[in-house]
Amino acid sequence: MSAVGSTRGLLTPTAPTPAKRRRRFLASGEGIAGLAILLFVVAVALIGPLVAPHALDAPIGPPGAPPGDGAPLGTDVLGRDVLSRVLYGGLSVLRLSVATIALTYLIGGTIGMLAGLSRSHLDPLLMRTVDIFLSLPSLLLILLLIAGAGQSEVVLIVAIVLVLFPGAARIVRTATLEISTAGYIEAAVGRGERTVAIMRREVLPNIAPAILADLGVRFSSAIVLAASVNFLGLGASPPAANWGLMIAENRPIITTNLWSVLVPAAFLALLTISVNMIGDAYVRSLGRSDRR
């Protein structure tokens, strides 16, 4: 049975059709608001560098100056334009978050599907390995990796993925176990299809709602972890512009120019809140009251 056919076979009152899910989502004020906020933040991150009034690292006035002519948000700790750095600072946040989430579900999803389909010792072996990573303190693991491998965006992405993939693997395994005995899976196994083909054609389309419902939590966690590391001064390196880094480096001037900290913090909050709003609205479109 094909993935499309198998999906139709699973449609029940608790698993509405894709069209019905879309209608429920579009009818949700929370979902529309979250989507609008997310599009605004993404637009600022993508278009910001093109319309920034000043260069990224060009001093334009005294350090910590309040808003004034030529600097609507004032200057930062080194006298650079806060507005320009805010407009430059979103792209790195989005790039890191998207790359982290993609790798998290590539690794965690593959492990979870393999474990859920396995009927041998592979399942406990994979999940006990996942449990080891799950037991490690997240921020401590990230700091140790940065201390050992150096301070770079690639290292930060790898570190955050190691923190996030265990939870994703468990979600995917649970969803895979629920359908692992379905007729279309048994038929695919009986036809001698390879495990990778079964995962791609039969399993993934049918567990996609569970993954999408969980994605908001992982995305928000990636943003918070990256911002925490940047706040500690161990993420992006100056003169790079990054909303988390801006909060950390402008703390000494918070009393003279509050906007240098408040605006980047607000954009991080908007990004996190919007993704969670979209995730919550999507879960409700499934006809369930909570995430799987």
Which CATH number belongs to the domain containing residue 62 in this structure? 1.10.3720.10
| Separation CA 189–CA 47 (nearest Å) | 49
Do the domain assignments include residue 291? Answer: no
Q: Is pLDDT at 266 greater than 90 in this prediction?
A: yes
Do the domain assignments include residue 108? Answer: yes
Do the domain assignments include residue 117? Answer: yes
Domains in the chain, number: 1
Do the domain assignments include residue 2? Answer: no
The domain in which residue 217 lies consists of 18-285
Q: Is pLDDT at 283 greater than 80 in this prediction?
A: no
Q: What is the value of pTM for the model shown?
A: 0.80
Which of 177, 175, 192, 188 is closest to 288 using CA atoms? 175
- Beta bridge partner(s), residue 68: 71
Do the domain assignments include residue 72? Answer: yes
Do the domain assignments include residue 4? Answer: no
Task: Please give the pLDDT value at position 1.
Answer: 39
| Separation CA 14–CA 12 (nearest Å) | 5
Supply angle C-alpha 235, 43, 93, rounded to 5.
10
| Separation CA 125–CA 282 (nearest Å) | 33
Separation in Å, CA 90 to CA 116, 153, 218? 37, 14, 19
Do the domain assignments include residue 7? Answer: no
Task: Please give the pLDDT value at position 42.
Answer: 95
Do the domain assignments include residue 66? Answer: yes
Task: Please give the pLDDT value at position 18.
Answer: 66
Q: How far apart are the first and last CA of the chain?
A: 26
Q: Is pLDDT at 178 greater than 60 in this prediction?
A: yes
